[in-house]
């Protein structure tokens, strides 16, 4: 029974259906104890569903899960937790008004049902310290930066003696240094004997951290667990997206798999001389709730170029987007869109001039999760019409249907709520709405976060095509590979200023140094 | 001065009890607009209980029984029949108001009020002018403290709040939000019944149709004003009572020069003002991200 290499988690013919959608179909696999396992697959492949079945949140319609040899009754979280399985969700799940200490306590089991504020702090401080999370235990969850929130989620999952820890796309919300720290933490857990399952999209990350990799596609097990020493990036991308991988341009494949240094994708390299579509002239903004104020930013985007913005998250990227979207105000300087001063214009007017935004937060800023897909999708067109114009819902629905199909969104029908889509598919809905024929300036803020490699390449192509049509594009990303691959020029932001401009061929070290101000 | 304090305690105590019932429901995620119904059920059952059994203890137990039963009914309609909780709560209020009227008519013919031979025990002459207050007034701070402890200082309380604020998070740690709501509503039935009992048998000794006169809704306003915190909501309820006491004084002083309705509206105006103030102080909340895939 205590054989260290007996499988910690076994799935036998697990199937899950949501109404007409089959999310998992007869998946059988086994994960050895004490290793780090990656689970990969396209958006909507069923990764999250798999994690929820293993953790008891979703009851499989067929098959079963066994933990450390014990067959679980499906759909019982308490039993799964008692057996040692814990799940950290893709979009975090802690009550936002709770303090850190309360967030630890509410999921705890065992003795100590009463507490005072200080006894609660005393109970959980050592736990957080042992995980190397330094945070004020009285801070509220909603006030914490996302990296700390994730740390708290992991700490929450470890309040009981977890033997199997499942992390659903933990790297999607993290900066490169945050990812490094997360991997450090995961390795330490492995050293303590915890079996870790990581759901990942980036092949580079899989190869860097995992011992084995398991591939799902359209609810079925494709292969796995394979030892990562036996696979390379190319094979893995073929397993994930199937034959489609043959269509990938070589540079994209490299940026996606992280094999070798990324070079700038081929462009026709015609020097762009047209008048800038966006121009910021010595802009200084007021302080902003979502990041540092911009200081003396001079910046322009010409039609037909992709301008990348690199920088550690929280250095003014959000303020930049908010300025262009009329959420943050300039105290000095001018904002020009297509040559017009738009400083005093509301967002709707800016949009009618061709401004499009793919926002940072898809669930709160990009979509209304409780509205239907077609309502979300038609918001763009409706915004530009006079308030009392009649609309034809049937026509809008069929337009939406066609657009979403063209973008390869996996959905059931356009009346579905946006919240029922898998994370990656939700992002595609936003892309299909914001990248249209009338777009003149597209701001893409982390557009490929949480997307699978096929979808990522798809987005890159869509952005390139928009550029070739004459759009100006601002690409904000924390993924340098992505920036180097598709940007014609990369600006680095630090503390609300633009501290460097780079052109291809990019020097990874120089950009990295500029990002942390070590030049 | 003493008589003002007594007046405030007398009108405030029933309100506080009912408010507490609202607080615990709110924490578990149910906007309980049935408080008015629960309160009047408590009031009616107490008086009828006294008349029928002749025992105040039995009368209180009967009141609690019916209020808890009505709360469970609300839970069933909301959680099992998936009705809109606001509508269901209003339905419970209607049921309480109509049901109690029906009850006294079927017991006592076509009367619209019932008198009881005695009410709740008083503190007695040892407490001087305060001797006229009922024991439920003195018990009130104890109940407030107990509920505060339960909600804010126990793991159960945290779990209850989690079920209300983020049901998916609660489910992820193995809780059953629906069951927690049943527990919360059932517990809430107890103070709601006590609030009704104090209203009908605290300083008075009778039950009349519609005698709650919107106090349940005022209690709900106190829940919101007090941000569903037991202490905050209690203070809000007492604040409303002070406002109405001032209103009554004003009426005596100014007579008809100030519209009666305006004075009655004071607590509600105060609520609107308080909500505006607290949202200004707290700053815009960036709408909690809830995962609607939770089902
Ligand atoms: N509650 C639900 N109701 C209806 N369909 C659902 C529900 N949850 C998931 N699905 C569907 O099941 C499929 C698998 O979804 P799942 O979330 O497991 O994908 P995923 O692999 O995690 O994708 P991503 O990489 O985008 O997060 C998708 O087609 C999704 O739309
Ligand atoms: Mg997922």
Please state the ipTM of this predicted complex. 0.85
Q: For residue B104, give how far its alpha carbon lies from the nearest alpha carbon of chain A (Å).
A: 44
Query: pLDDT category, A121, cuts 50, 70, 90?
Result: very high
Any idea which of A319-323, B189-193, B257-261, B283-287 has the lowest mean pLDDT? B283-287
Query: pLDDT category, B288, cuts 50, 70, 90?
Result: very low
| Domain B2-292 in CATH 2.170.15 | no
CA distances (Å), origin A378, targets A196, A400, A418, A463, B42: 42, 7, 13, 21, 52
Q: Which residue has the higher pLDDT, B56 or B278?
A: B56
Ligand 2 mean position, distance from CA A456 (Å): 15
**Residues B246-283 pLDDT 10s:** 877 877 887 777 777 777 777 778 777 877 776 676 54
**Residues B205-225 pLDDT 10s:** 999 999 998 899 999 989 988
Nearest to A57 among B161, B162, B172 (CB): B172
pLDDT of residue B289: 35
**Residues A442-456 pLDDT 10s:** 999 999 887 888 888
Residues in chain A, overall count: 519
Nearest to B173 among A97, A106, A115 (CB): A106
Nearest to A27 by CA among A73, A62, A57: A62
Averaged over A362-381, what is the pLDDT?
Answer: 87
State the best of A56, A85, A96, A416 to mutate against chain B, taking most chain B CBs within 10 Å: A96
Contact B292 CB / ligand 1 (< 6 Å): no
pLDDT of residue B281: 65
Q: Which two tokens stand for residue A494?
A: 């630090």
Q: A283 with A294: CB under 8 angstroms?
A: yes
Q: Map out the domains of chain B as residue ranges.
A: 2-292
The greatest distance separating any two alpha carbons of chain A, rounded to the nearest whole angstrom, comes to 73
Contact A89 B172 (CB under 8 A): yes
**What are the DSSP calls for B121-185, one per residue?**
PB--GGGGGGGGSBHHHHHHHHHHHHHHHHHHSBHHHHHHHHHHH-HHHHHHTT--HHHHHHHHH
Q: A197 with A30: CB under 8 angstroms?
A: no
Q: Which residue has the higher pLDDT, A262 or B40?
A: B40
Question: What are φ and ψ of residue A87, in 5° steps?
Answer: -125, 135
CA distances (Å), origin A436, targets A47, A355, A431: 31, 11, 9
Q: What percent of chain B has pLDDT over 90?
A: 67
Averaged over B9-31, what is the pLDDT?
Answer: 95
pLDDT of residue A264: 64
Q: What percent of chain A has pLDDT over 70?
A: 94
**Residues B65-79 pLDDT 10s:** 999 999 999 999 999
Q: A95 with A141: CB under 8 angstroms?
A: yes
Annotate A343-363 with b (16+ C-beta within 10 A) or e (fewer): eebeeeebbeebbbbbbbebb
Annotate A480-504 with b (16+ C-beta within 10 A) or e (fewer): bbbbbbbbbbbbbbbbbbbbbebeb
Q: What is the DSSP letter of A265?
A: P
CA distances (Å), origin A208, targets A181, A189, B146, B195: 13, 16, 53, 63
Contact A424 CB / ligand 1 (< 6 Å): yes
Question: What are φ and ψ of residue A207, in 5° steps?
Answer: -70, -30
Decide if pLDDT at A256 tops 50. yes
Ion ligand 2 — residues with CB under 5 Å?
A 48, 90
Decide if pLDDT at A272 tops 90. no
State how far the Cα of B36 lies from the Cα of B214, in Å rounded to an integer.
7
Contact A94 B159 (CB under 8 A): no
Q: How many Cα atoms occupy the beta-carbon half-sphere of B246 within 13 Å?
A: 11
pLDDT of residue A270: 58
Query: pLDDT category, A517, cuts 50, 70, 90?
Result: confident
Searching chain A, which residue's CA lies closest to the CA of residue B167? A95
Q: A101 with A121: CB under 8 angstroms?
A: yes
On average, the pLDDT of chain B sits at 88
Bridge partners, A166 (sequence order): A87, A197
Q: Identify the sign of the CA torsion A478, A481, A485, A489.
A: positive
Decide if pLDDT at A472 tops 70. yes
Number of the ligand 1 atom closest to the C-alpha atom of A51: 18
Nearest to B174 among A81, A89, A97 (CB): A81
Searching chain B, which residue's CA lies closest to the CA of residue A418? B292
Q: Which two tokens stand for residue B132?
A: 């006229």
Residue A198 sits at the vertex; the CA angle it makes with A197 and A202, to the nearest 5 degrees, is 150
Number of the ligand 1 atom closest to the C-alpha atom of A52: 18
Residues 6 or more apart whose CB falls under 8 angstroms from that of A461 comprise none
State how far the Cα of B195 lies from the Cα of B241, in Å rounded to an integer.
14
Q: Which residues of A touch B166 (CB under 8 A)?
A: 93-96
Contact A112 B292 (CB under 8 A): no
Contact A115 B172 (CB under 8 A): no
Contact A142 B288 (CB under 8 A): yes
Question: What are φ and ψ of residue A358, in 5° steps?
Answer: -100, 100
Decide if pLDDT at A218 tops 90. no
Q: Which two tokens stand for residue A101?
A: 């200490």
**Which residue out of A14, A15, A21 has the highest number of ligand 1 atoms within 8 Å of its CB and is therefore the one to mutate?**
A21
Residue A303 sits at the vertex; the CA angle it makes with A299 and A308, to the nearest 5 degrees, is 50
Q: Do strands A220-227 and A164-168 pair parallel, antiparallel, or not at all (unpaired)?
A: unpaired
Nearest to B31 by CA among B95, B91, B86: B86
pLDDT of residue B292: 32
Alpha helix (H) residue ranges in A270-366: 317-324, 347-352
Q: B189 with B39: CB under 8 angstroms?
A: no
In the sheet with A297-301, reading across from the earlier edge strand, the strands are: A297-301, A278-285, A330-337, A340-341
What number of H helices and E strands is found in chain B? 11, 2
On average, the pLDDT of chain A sits at 86
Averaged over A200-224, what is the pLDDT?
Answer: 91
pLDDT of residue B293: 35
State how far the Cα of A39 lies from the Cα of A26, in Å rounded to an integer.
16
Decide if pLDDT at B291 tops 60. no
Averaged over A363-370, what is the pLDDT?
Answer: 85
Nearest to A285 by CA among A342, A340, A323: A323
Averaged over B38-45, what is the pLDDT?
Answer: 97
**What are the DSSP calls for A268-295, one per residue?**
--PPP-SPPSEEEEEEEE--BTTBPPP-
Decide if pLDDT at B27 tops 90. yes
Averaged over A85-96, what is the pLDDT?
Answer: 88
3-class secondary-structure state, position B51: helix
Residues 6 or more apart whose CB falls under 8 angstroms from that of A252 comprise A265, A457, A460, A485
CA distances (Å), origin A404, targets A103, A280, A366, A375, B195: 39, 34, 16, 13, 56
Residues of A with CB under 8 A from a CB of B: 55-57, 76-78, 80-81, 87, 89, 91, 93-98, 102, 105-108, 112-116, 142, 363-364, 369-370, 417, 419-420
Residue B82 CB coordination number (10 Å): 9
pLDDT of residue B287: 36
Residue A452 CB coordination number (10 Å): 27
Q: Identify the sign of the CA torsion B276, B280, B281, B287.
A: positive
Alpha helix (H) residue ranges in A92-160: 100-105, 117-130, 146-157
Q: What is the DSSP letter of A139?
A: S
Contact B174 A78 (CB under 8 A): yes
Ligand 2 mean position, distance from CA A181 (Å): 22
State how far the Cα of A391 lies from the Cα of B94, in Å rounded to an integer.
41
Nearest to B154 by CA among A101, A100, A105: A105
Q: Which residues of B touch A113 (CB under 8 A)?
A: 154-156
Q: Which residues of A touch B161 (CB under 8 A)?
A: 95, 97-98, 106
Decide if pLDDT at A246 tops 90. no
State how far the Cα of B217 lies from the Cα of B215, in Å rounded to an integer.
5
Contact A410 CB / ligand 1 (< 6 Å): yes
State how far the Cα of A160 lies from the Cα of A96, in Å rounded to an integer.
21
Ligand 1 mean position, distance from CA A79 (Å): 24
Nearest to B14 by CA among B143, B114, B186: B143
Contact A423 CB / ligand 1 (< 6 Å): yes
Averaged over A89-104, what is the pLDDT?
Answer: 89
**Residues A40-57 pLDDT 10s:** 998 888 999 999 999 999
**Residues B95-138 pLDDT 10s:** 999 999 999 888 888 778 889 999 999 988 888 888 889 999 99
Cis peptide before A505 (omega within 30 of 0): yes
State how far the Cα of A497 lies from the Cα of A292, in Å rounded to an integer.
9
């Amino acid at each position: 029974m205590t054989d260290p290499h007996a499988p910690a988690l076994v799935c036998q013919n697990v199937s899950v259906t949501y109404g007409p959608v089959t999310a998992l179909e007869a998946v059988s696999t086994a994960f050895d104890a004490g290793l780090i396992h990656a689970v990969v697959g396209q958006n909507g492949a069923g990764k999250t569903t798999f994690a929820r079945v293993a953790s008891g949140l979703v009851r499989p319609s067929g098959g079963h899960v066994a933990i450390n040899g014990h067959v679980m009754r499906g759909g019982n979280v308490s039993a799964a937790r008692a057996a040692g399985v814990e799940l950290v969700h893709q979009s975090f799940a802690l009550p936002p008004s709770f303090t850190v200490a309360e967030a630890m306590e509410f999921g705890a089991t065992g003795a100590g049902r009463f507490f005072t504020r200080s006894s609660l702090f005393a109970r959980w401080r050592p736990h957080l310290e042992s995980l190397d999370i330094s945070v004020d235990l009285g801070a509220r969850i909603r006030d914490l930066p996302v990296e700390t929130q994730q740390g708290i989620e992991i700490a929450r999952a470890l309040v009981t003696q977890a033997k199997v820890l499942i992390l659903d796309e933990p790297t999607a919300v993290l900066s490169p240094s945050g990812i490094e720290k997360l991997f450090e933490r995961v390795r330490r857990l492995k050293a303590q004997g915890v079996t870790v399952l990581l759901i990942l999209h980036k092949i580079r990350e899989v190869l860097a951290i995992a011992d084995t990799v398991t591939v799902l596609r359209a609810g079925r097990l494709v292969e796995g667990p394979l030892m990562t020493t036996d696979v390379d990036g190319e094979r893995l991308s073929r397993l994930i997206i199937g034959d489609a991988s043959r269509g990938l341009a070589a540079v994209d494949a490299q940026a996606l798999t992280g094999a070798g240094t990324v070079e700038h994708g081929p462009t026709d390299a015609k020097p762009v001389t047209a008048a800038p579509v966006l121009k910021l002239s010595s802009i200084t903004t007021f302080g902003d709730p979502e990041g540092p104020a911009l200081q003396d930013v001079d910046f322009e985007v010409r039609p037909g170029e992709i301008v990348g913005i690199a920088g550690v998250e929280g250095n003014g990227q959000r303020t930049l987007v908010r300025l262009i979207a009329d959420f943050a105000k300039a105290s000095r300087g001018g904002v020009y869109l297509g040559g017009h001063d738009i400083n005093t214009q509301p967002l709707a007017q800016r949009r009618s001039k061709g401004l499009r935004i793919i926002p940072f937060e898809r669930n709160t800023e990009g979509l209304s999760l409780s509205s239907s897909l077609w309502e979300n999708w038609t918001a763009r067109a409706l915004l530009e019409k006079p308030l009392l114009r009649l609309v034809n819902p049937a026509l809008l629905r069929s337009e939406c249907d066609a657009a979403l199909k063209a973008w390869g969104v996996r959905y059931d029908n356009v009346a579905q709520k946006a919240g029922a889509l898998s994370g990656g598919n939700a992002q595609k809905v936003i892309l299909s709405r914001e990248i249209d024929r009338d777009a003149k300036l597209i701001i893409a803020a982390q557009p490929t976060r949480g997307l699978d490699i096929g979808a990522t390449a798809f987005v890159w192509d869509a952005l390139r095509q928009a550029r070739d049509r004459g759009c100006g594009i601002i690409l904000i990303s924390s993924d340098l590979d992505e920036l180097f691959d598709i940007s014609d020029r990369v600006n680095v932001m630090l503390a609300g200023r633009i501290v460097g401009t780079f052109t291809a061929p990019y020097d990874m070290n120089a950009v990295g140094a500029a990002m942390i101000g070590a030049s | 001065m003493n008589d003002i304090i007594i007046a405030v305690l007398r009108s405030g105590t029933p309100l506080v009890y009912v408010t507490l019932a609202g607080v615990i429901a709110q924490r578990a995620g149910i906007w309980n607009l049935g408080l008015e119904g629960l309160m009047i059920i408590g009031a009616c059952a107490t008086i009828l209980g006294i008349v029928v059994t002749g025992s105040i203890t039995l009368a209180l137990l009967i009141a609690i029984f019916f209020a808890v039963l009505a709360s469970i009914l609300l839970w069933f309609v909301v959680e099992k029949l998936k009705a809109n909780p606001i509508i269901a709560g209003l339905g419970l209020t209607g049921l309480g108001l109509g049901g109690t009227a029906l009850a006294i008519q079927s017991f006592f013919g076509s009367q619209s009020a019932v008198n009881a031979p005695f009410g709740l025990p008083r503190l007695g002459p040892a407490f001087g002018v305060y001797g006229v207050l009922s024991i439920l007034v003195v018990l009130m701070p104890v109940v407030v403290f107990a509920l505060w402890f339960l909600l804010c200082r126990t793991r159960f309380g945290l779990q209850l709040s989690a079920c209300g604020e983020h049901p998916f998070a609660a489910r992820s740690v193995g809780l059953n939000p629906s069951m927690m709501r049943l527990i919360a509503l059932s517990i809430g039935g107890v103070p709601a019944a006590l609030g009704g009992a104090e209203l009908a048998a605290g300083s008075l000794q009778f039950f009349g149709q519609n005698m709650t006169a919107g106090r349940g809704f005022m209690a709900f306003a106190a829940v919101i004003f007090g941000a569903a915190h037991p202490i905050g909501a209690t203070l809000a309820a007492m604040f409303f009572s002070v406002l109405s006491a001032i209103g009554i004084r004003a009426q005596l002083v100014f007579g008809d020069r100030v519209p009666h309705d305006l004075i009655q509206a004071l607590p509600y105006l105060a609520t609107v003002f308080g909500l505006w103030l607290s949202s200004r102080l707290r700053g815009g909340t960036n709408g909690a991200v809830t995962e609607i895939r939770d089902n």
